[in-house]
Structure 1
Amino acid sequence: MADSVAKVVEECARAAKQAAPSLAAAPETALDAALTAMAHRLFESREAVLEANRADVAAARAEGMSAGLLDRLIITEQRLAEIAEQLRLLAKAPHQERSISISALDGGLQLMERRRPVGVVGANYEARPNVTVDVASQLVKSRNAGVLRTGSAALGSAQRLLDSVIAPALTDAGIDSDVMQLVPRVEREAAAALVQLPALVPLVILRGSGESTRFLATEAATHGVRTLAHADGGGVLYVDEAADAETVRALVISSLDRLGVCNRLNLLLIHSAVYGSLWPVAAEALAGCGVIPSLPPHEHAIGYEWALDGEREATVTVAKVDALIEAVSIANEQTSRLPAGIVTEDAAAAEAFFNGYTGTGVFWNAPTRLLDGFKLLAIPETGINLDNVPGPRGPVTYSDLYIRQYAVLPARH
């Protein structure tokens, strides 16, 4: 079984690599035309897409999928309209300069920086049908072919999106539709196979649960494949002693509008000086969202990500801290270091929090839900990279998916 799965993944990768030059050489107008056509075909094919999604959802419900994961899986008319609007905005977004002048060199030479597509980019992601369109559109905009592998629960929806929306839109724009491949196998071995093909798929975007993503990142490293990994999530909100009660209430509510997403409120830290007065405010807000607090003493790690717990996803960990520096230390050392925010009316406290927190996104009187490519940049993301190395960090978009190449040439050119 494993060998047959690996063979299918390799066939997808070879098809994408063979078609990649069609995308790399396409004019910018063709790329944007393809994205616009995807938006149009989403509307035209909405009934077929919704039908495929209803079948996926019914099967997932029958298998006992949790409410939070079902929320990720479900496509509605409104969500289709939002995806289409994101595609239109991406089509209008500026293209990256392919060649940039850096400096003059001795001997009448000029140094240029050229930005080249990776070639073929893989993506392994959770059972969220919208991510199929998000990733495919980002790859098209950045001139990269793709091999996509989604969670088994969303495969029917993803396949319909590829067949009815993505592939025909590419063809409409004069681009070989084989540049975007979807692995048609549900076995987990398909994900492992995707990160073992350095000559075909040198870069793989990894999204999903922390355990599986960390395993795939390790597997990729042993095979010489680079990854952009989004392994863990969970937002942190620190309520400072100078926090405003109504701001606390508003941020708790706005950070819990969806429970199955990585940037939702996961850990609430409250300064001991205001715990007595502000915890009741936060508790009322949590109750209004249908969320249960996990109070000390905790029987779990303080940074445990509730969004991945199918039985207790409607939970937020609450803890008391004695100082801002303690809150920063917990956020840095005991959580995923995705988003962390401070609620305070004290600018000096906010600055200290900003200077101390080393994670991917930091917020002052703003909800952690804002750590999202579309919310921040008006561009859908491929994922949120948490690496502590130079390169794309935070929401990864088309503007990050290139390889830098130095070029030296006579200055007169």
Structure 2
Amino acid sequence: MNATPEAAAVRAAAERAAAAAPGVRAAGGPAVDAALRTMAQLIRERADRVLAANAADVATAEANGMAPGLLDRLRLGPERLADIAHQLEVLADTPEPPAQREVRTLPTGERVFERRVPVGVIGAVFEARPNVTVDVASQVLKARSAAVLRTGAAALGSARALVEEVIAPALDAHGVPSAAVQLVPVPGHAGADALVGLPDLVPLVVVRGSGEVTRRLSALGAAAGTRVLAHADGGGVLYLDASAAEAEVTRLVTEGTDRLGVCNRLNLLLVDRPAYDRLWPVAEKALADRGITPSLPPHDHALGHEWALDSGNEQHVTVTAVDGPVAAAQLAARETSGLAATVCAADEAAATAFIDAYTGTGVFWNATTRLLDGYKLLGLPETGINVDHTPGPRGPVTYVDLSLRQFVVLPAS
């Protein structure tokens, strides 16, 4: 059976990345870090070219009726470009953990070491967010692997400009194969489907996007034998305990809704029932100041419905009453993806009870769930946020999570 044109294009990109991967490993850390710094320089020098490509993407998306929240993710500007460049420099200056550490000495005298080795080629499927092109590529390169990137069709022009004007020339300037970062050139789901079906070339694929899409790609990858590291559903939770100060309620609601098209925004607001009449009006005003409509009981949707992915309805937050911190934490873990939850409380015992009962990826006391982000938490860009309930990298995934563990046994010294 002949491969589709989309599958053939993806395989060709993967083969180019695989051919370049040994060169990335051989180039070494100083060369990769130097390339990252040059990428930052080129982003500043060639900002007009990148912004022009992005403006064309945005104009097309607007003409096709893209919702405001998704447009916010797609749109670049001088400030966002400056942030991308700064994060590249931070990553380049980040000392790497030792490539090898001694684990123990066996009773027979042999020494056991644990070593980090590159995966080789890492794929990524992500939404129409141009900055993620650089985030993922830089993390994969820092992990000494090559990358095959598939972005949403709406951002393809922006991603192409970043690869061709910034990433490839920077790699070439420092002796790292420029083919080490490949962009899937075809739009649509067929390219993503093909990427998770090449375990011989791309054994690991990071998948971001809506829950439905990531679950489908995870299933396809599992059937093919590809390891899929999925970032699917999101949605931040804020619990207002009876002990919460009104000023803190206003601050956390406001901080949690600064951007509505992101996964860690305030999505579900839980209010302690005994304090509902006091705290809800405070939160309601903060939401109104942001132009956000509360979804109040009785709900005709699941409590964890992710408004960031509900095109045209992003300006909503679900609200419901709960019976104390433990019930709130359990509801948050049960009804949402378990991405992140905040407890707003002055009472330390209530906050501790919430933290201990919540089983999700990130839990915060009087701090916004918007902090669940690789750069904000760890000082590093991320490839995504993993919310798996199984062992493995969980939370913001950075380059240190993108290596293989190898055991080395050496003779007694």
Q: TM-score, normalised by structure 2?
A: 0.99
The alpha carbon displacement at 1:278 in A equals 0.6
Give how far 1:357 is off.
0.4
Alpha-carbon deviation of 1:2?
6.8
Aligned residue number for residue 251 of structure 1: 252
- Check whether the contact 1:38–1:87 (CA below 8 A) recurs between aligned residues: yes
Residues 1:303 and 2:304 aligned together: yes
SS in structure 2 of the partner of residue 149 of structure 1: strand
- Find out whether 1:175 has 2:176 as its counterpart: yes
Cross-structure match for 1:185 = 186
Matches within 5 A, 1:63-82: 63-82=64-83
Q: CA deviation at 1:303?
A: 0.3
* Residue aligning to 1:357: 358
> Residue 242 of structure 2: SS of its match in structure 1?
coil
Aligned residue for 1:273, secondary structure, equals: helix
Q: Could you tell me which amino acid in structure 2 is paired with residue 32 of structure 1?
A: D
On the 8 A contact 2:236/2:266 being kept in 1, the answer is yes
Contact 2:325 2:351 in 1 (8 A): no
2:94 is matched with 93
Instruction: Tell me the equivalent position of 1:376.
Output: 377
Could you say what secondary structure the match of 1:379 adopts?
coil
Q: Which amino acid aligns with 1:120?
A: V
Residue in 2 aligned with 1:39? 40
SS in 2 for 1:293: strand
Q: Match for 1:108: what amino acid?
A: G
In the alignment, which residue of structure 2 is the partner of 1:134? 135
SS of equivalent to 1:169: helix
| Distance (whole Å) between structure 2 residues aligned to residue 33 and residue 348 of structure 1 | 49
The aligned runs of 1:183-332 (5 Å cut-off) are: 183-332=184-333
- How many Å separate the matches in 2 of 1:200 and 1:27? 22
Identity rate, percent: 57
Deviation at 1:108, TM superposition (A): 2.5
1:310 CA displacement:
1.1
Equivalent residues of 2:152, 2:188 under 8 A apart: no
**2: CA distance, partners of 1:26 / 1:336:** 40
Deviations 1:316-362 (A, max 9, x none): 00001122222112111110100001000111111111111000000
Per-residue CA distance 1:264-314 (angstroms, 9 max, x = gap) = 000000011110011000000000111110000000000000000112100
Pairwise CA RMSD = 0.9
Distance 1:2 1:313 in 2: 39
Match of 1:157 in 2: 158
CA shift for structure 1 position 377? 0.9
Question: Which of structure 1's runs of 4+ aligned residues deviate more than 6 A?
Answer: none
C-alpha deviation, 1:116, in angstroms? 0.4
Counterpart Cα distance in 2 of 1:411 and 1:3? 55
Distance change >3 Å, CA 22–CA 240, structure 1 → 2? same
Are 1:386 and 1:394, in contact at CA under 8 Å, matched by a contact in 2? yes
State the Cα distance separating 1:411 from its structure 2 match: 3.0
Q: Structure 2: which 5+ residue stretches go unaligned? A: none
Distance 2:389 2:411 in 1: 37
Matched residue count: 412
Shift of 1:106: 2.6
**CA distance in structure 2 between the aligned counterparts of 1:244 and 1:164, rounded to whole angstroms:** 50
Cα distance in structure 2, aligned partners of 1:321 and 1:391: 32
Aligned 8 A contact 1:269 1:318 in 2: yes
Report if the CA contact (8 A) 1:5-1:187 is conserved: no
**1:5 corresponds to which residue?**
6
Answer yes or no: is the 8 Å Cα contact 2:193–2:220 preserved in 1: yes
> Aligned partners of 1:390, 1:255: CA distance in 2, in Å?
29
In structure 1, C-alpha distance between the alignment counterparts of 2:25 and 2:8, rounded to whole Å: 26
Distance 1:231 1:278 in 2: 32
Pairwise CA distance, 1:27: 2.1
| AA of the residue aligned to 2:302 | A
After superposition, the C-alpha distances for 1:73-92 in whole angstroms (9 at most, x for unaligned) are 00000110010000000000
Pair 2,284 (structure 1): closer, same or farther in 2 beyond 3 Å: farther
Distance of 2:35 and 2:252 partners within structure 1? 38
